[in-house]
Copies of this chain bind each other. A is one copy, B any other.
Amino acid sequence: MKDGTLRYSVLADELAGLIDAGVLRPGDRLPSVRRLASEKRLSVSTVVRALHQLEDAGAVEARPQSGFFVKQRRPERAEPRTGAPPDQAVAVEVSQRLMRVLRANTQPGVLPLGAALPAPELLPIAAIRRLYSRVARRHPKLLAGASHTEMNEPALLRQVVKRSLAWGSALAGGEITVTHSCTEAMHLCLRAVTRPGDTVAVESPAYYLGLQLLESCGLKALEIPSAPGIGVSVEALELATRQEKVAACLLVPNASNPLGSIMPDANKARLAALMAERGVPVIEDDVYGDLHFDGPRPWPIKAFDRAGNVMLCSSFSKSISPALRVGFVAAGRYSGNVALQKTIISGATNPISQMVLAEYLESCASDRHLRRLRGRYANQVEQMMRAVARYFPAGTRMSRPQGAFVLWVELPDETDTMKLYGLALAEGVSFVPGELFSPSGMYRNCLRLNCGNPWSAAIEAGIQRLGQLAARAGSCL
Residues of chain A having any CB pair with chain B under 8 Å? 95, 99, 102-103, 106, 115, 117, 120, 123, 125-126, 128-130, 132-133, 135-137, 140, 142-150, 179-181, 183-184, 187, 191, 195-196, 209, 212-213, 215-216, 218, 317, 321-325, 340-341, 343-353
* Most B Cβ at <10 Å: residue of A125, A150, A180: A180
Shortest CB distance A366–B (Å): 16
Q: Please, which residues of chain B bring their CB within 8 A of the CB of A353?
A: 350, 352-353
CB-based contact B213/A106 at 8 Å: no
Q: Please, which residues of chain B bring their CB within 8 A of the CB of A349?
A: 180, 325
Specify the chain B residue showing the minimal Cβ separation from A352.
Answer: B132
Given contact pairs A140-B125, A148-B102, A323-B350, A344 touches B132 in the complex (Cβ within 8 A) = no
| Cβ 8 A contact of A183, one of B95, B120, B132, B347 | B347
Shortest CB distance A233–B (Å): 27
Shortest CB distance A64–B (Å): 19
Given contact pairs A115-B147, A149-B103, A344 touches B213 in the complex (Cβ within 8 A) = yes
CB-based contact A180/B340 at 8 Å: no
| Cβ 8 A contact of A346, one of B130, B181, B317, B350 | B181
CA distance A352 to B216 in the complex (A): 28
CB-based contact A323/B132 at 8 Å: no
CB-based contact A106/B150 at 8 Å: yes
CB-based contact A347/B115 at 8 Å: no
CA distance A218 to B194 in the complex (A): 12
CB-based contact A341/B102 at 8 Å: no
CB-based contact A344/B183 at 8 Å: yes
Shortest CB distance A50–B (Å): 35
CB-based contact B323/A145 at 8 Å: yes
CA distance A412 to B346 in the complex (A): 36
Shortest CB distance A223–B (Å): 19
Q: Please, which residues of chain B bring their CB within 8 A of the CB of A149?
A: 99, 102-103, 106
Shortest CB distance A184–B (Å): 4
Specify the chain B residue showing the minimal Cβ separation from A112.
Answer: B147
CA distance A118 to B103 in the complex (A): 40
CB-based contact B344/A325 at 8 Å: no
Give 27 A-B contacts (CB < 8 Å), ordered by A residue.
A102-B147, A115-B147, A115-B148, A120-B143, A123-B144, A126-B140, A128-B143, A129-B136, A132-B352, A136-B136, A143-B321, A143-B324, A146-B321, A146-B323, A180-B347, A183-B345, A183-B347, A184-B346, A196-B196, A209-B344, A212-B344, A215-B344, A323-B351, A346-B346, A350-B353, A352-B353, A353-B353
Q: Please, which residues of chain B bring their CB within 8 A of the CB of A347?
A: 180-181, 183-184, 325
CB-based contact A325/B350 at 8 Å: yes
Q: Please, which residues of chain B bring their CB within 8 A of the CB of A215?
A: 344
Given contact pairs A99-B340, A325-B349, A125 touches B147 in the complex (Cβ within 8 A) = no
Given contact pairs A146-B323, A350-B350, A129 touches B137 in the complex (Cβ within 8 A) = yes
CA distance A120 to B351 in the complex (A): 15
Q: Please, which residues of chain B bring their CB within 8 A of the CB of A117?
A: 147
Given contact pairs A136-B129, A345-B216, A346-B346, A144 touches B323 in the complex (Cβ within 8 A) = yes
CA distance A183 to B348 in the complex (A): 11
**New A-B contacts (4) at CB < 8 Å, excluding given A180-B347, A350-B353:** A125-B144, A129-B140, A143-B321, A184-B347
CA distance A148 to B181 in the complex (A): 12
CA distance A341 to B215 in the complex (A): 10
CA distance A192 to B341 in the complex (A): 18
Q: Please, which residues of chain B bring their CB within 8 A of the CB of A148?
A: 102, 106, 115
| Cβ 8 A contact of A106, one of B147, B322, B324 | B147
* Most B Cβ at <10 Å: residue of A130, A136, A150, A321: A136
